[in-house]
Amino acid sequence: MASVAEGYVVACAVSDLPARGKKTVKINGVSVLVVACESGYYAIENRCPQTGRPIAHGKVLNCKLTSPHTGARYDLTTGKFVGGGQSPLQSHWLTVFPLSVVDDKVYIHLS
């Protein structure tokens, strides 16, 4: 069995994630959205940077998440704003958490 770095906690099993899908989990009171896309798995705070509302119902395409509230698009690998939205604020980024997959489990570090 491989080891997991200190500070990481189990979010879910890889088998809980649909292929190219997402799952919302609660870790230490924080709502986290785990996303499976073409290039791997990503974990972000389930919160739109512009509105503060949950972002879990946003569409994912090419590892970019579109906010269901504003239409703004964010890169899941970095959290960076990449365009769109009605009143885009380029200073608003998604909070991306470090993620590790070990033995079919997704581990997240709430840094």
Q: Which residue ranges make up each domain of the chain? A: 8-109
* Tens digit of each residue's pLDDT (9 = 90 or more) over 16-26: 998 888 999 99
Contact call for residues 1 and 104 (beta carbons, < 8 A): no
Q: What is the pTM of this model?
A: 0.91
Chain-centre distance of CA 91, in angstroms? 18
Which tens digit of pLDDT belongs to each residue from 42-75?
Answer: 999 999 988 899 999 999 999 999 999 889 999 9
Dump strand ranges (E) for the chain: 8-13, 22-27, 30-37, 40-45, 59-61, 64-66, 72-75, 81-84, 96-97, 99-102, 105-109
The CATH number of 8-109 is 2.102.10.10
Residue 91 has pLDDT above 90, yes or no: no
CA distance 85 to 67: 8
Work out the percent of the chain whose per-residue pLDDT is above 90.
72
